[in-house]
Amino acid sequence: MFFRSQGILRNRIDDLAVLKLILEDSENIPKLTFDGETTFLLFPAQVTCAASVFDPARRAITIDYSKGPTIEGYRPVPDDLAGEQALNIRDEVRVVRRGLYLGRAYFGKRFGLNFTLLDPATAADTSPSRDLQEDCDGVPASHRDNSLAPRDSLARHDGDAGDRRQRLPQGS
């Protein structure tokens, strides 16, 4: 879930079964109910517009889990799993067209996986507009690293291993 005004992201986790061995208290984990389904919000990350690992001459929306400890509501267990001392996850996301995004996840400096994001509220035949190609759309100016040029347009991440489509909730 992308919290645009704060420049942060929290991953929506449907089932905590995989984390039960390390979670002592799941009652205090933030929850979100969307379309009648409750999910848990874990693994906070900072969202910025910065240099791309894949193409350093271009900018990308970056989702940096190493910044999780600086985000309000961070829980060392399990949120540390995505941080520098564990998987060290950093994602980059680029717009393909309005409502369709392509992402790449890195574990440290190593490429991990590709993922896609789809906003079902956006028409499939929508093509990118010029402003999407010139700016890191969706990231507040206060969260941009403006020392780099040229700019590219990008968005946010939810995903798991392999190529996969995830639906974005409206308003995110």
Cα–Cα distance, 92 to 94 (Å, whole number): 7
Q: How many CA atoms lie within 13 A of 12 on its CB side?
A: 19
- Which carries the bigger pLDDT value, residue 51 or residue 103? 103
- For 133, phi then psi, to 5°, come to -80, -15
Taking only the tens place, the pLDDT of each residue in 14-61 is 888 888 888 887 777 888 888 898 898 999 999 998 888 888 888 888
Per-residue pLDDT at 152: 31
- Which carries the bigger pLDDT value, residue 118 or residue 135? 118
- Which residues have CB under 8 Å from 118's CB, separation 6+? 99, 100, 101, 165, 166, 167, 168
Give the position of tokens 């999780």: 68
- Which carries the bigger pLDDT value, residue 122 or residue 157? 122
pTM: 0.70
